[in-house]
Amino acid sequence: MNKWQIVGIVGAVIVIVGLFLPWATVTGTNPDTGEKISETVYGYISIGLWIFVILGLIGAVIPKKLGGILALVFGILGVLVTWFNIMGIYALKAMYDSDEIKIHMHYGGYVALLGFVILFIGGILQFIAFRKEQKAQVQPATPAPPVPPMPPQDAKIPEEGAGSGEGSEMNVEESESQ
């Protein structure tokens, strides 16, 4: 396991911690019933974030190029979905925050966002490390055997069966019989 895989795993663990921390608290009085409200919102209710963190964690554990790509893709998807969830809470705060209902932001969403950013960075660095390792393992191609030199243009090539070439069997037999 390389150090970039560990970075991705740490990022995923931080996301999981952030999912169990409070993201927002809604307090106040229900204007319809007059009943007191006090609810805390946690990130663990987001199934999409769970899917992204689990697939990102799987990617961080796989020691191949595919692992780096998975951690990278699901890290950035997690960053985007977490950001939209945080912005959604701020939008609800802008619409419904009043004297009767107060919406307070907490740190859980930011911790999860930080964890997804770390998972994303770990995925990028894991992918880059795998590519460098792959390039280092590539063996240089063996050179082709040398081409024999070409005979000069004016040289005559003896024809087979002419009997005039040195060392041919025909010449040896003819010379023995004479």
Spans of all domains in the chain:
3-135
What would the pLDDT profile of 57-71 be if each residue is shown by its tens digit?
999 998 888 888 999
With a cut of 60, say whether residue 18 has pLDDT above it: yes
Predicted confidence at residue 164, as pLDDT, reads 52
Under a CB-based contact definition with an 8 Å cutoff, are residues 53 and 19 in contact?
Answer: yes
Fold of 3-135: Butyryl-CoA Dehydrogenase, subunit A; domain 3 (1.20.140)
Predicted confidence at residue 78, as pLDDT, reads 94
Residue 162, classified by CB atoms within 10 Å of its CB into exposed (0-12), middle (13-18) or buried (19+), is exposed
With a cut of 90, say whether residue 77 has pLDDT above it: yes
Q: Of the candidates 4, 114, 136, which has an alpha carbon nearest to the alpha carbon of residue 59?
A: 4
Predicted confidence at residue 109, as pLDDT, reads 93
Number of other residues whose CB lies within 10 A of the CB of residue 34: 8
Predicted confidence at residue 20, as pLDDT, reads 95
The dihedral sign for the CA sequence 124, 53, 12, 113: positive
Number of other residues whose CB lies within 10 A of the CB of residue 69: 17
Q: Of the candidates 43, 17, 20, 15, which has an alpha carbon nearest to the alpha carbon of residue 113?
A: 15
What would the pLDDT profile of 78-110 be if each residue is shown by its tens digit?
999 999 999 998 998 888 877 778 889 999 999
What would the pLDDT profile of 103-162 be if each residue is shown by its tens digit?
899 999 999 999 999 999 999 998 888 888 877 776 666 777 888 887 777 766 666 655
Q: Per-residue pLDDT averaged across 8-22, rounded? A: 94
Predicted confidence at residue 37, as pLDDT, reads 85
Query: Which residues contact residue 55 at a Cβ distance below 8 angstroms, ignoring those fewer than 6 apart?
Result: 70, 74
Number of other residues whose CB lies within 10 A of the CB of residue 144: 6
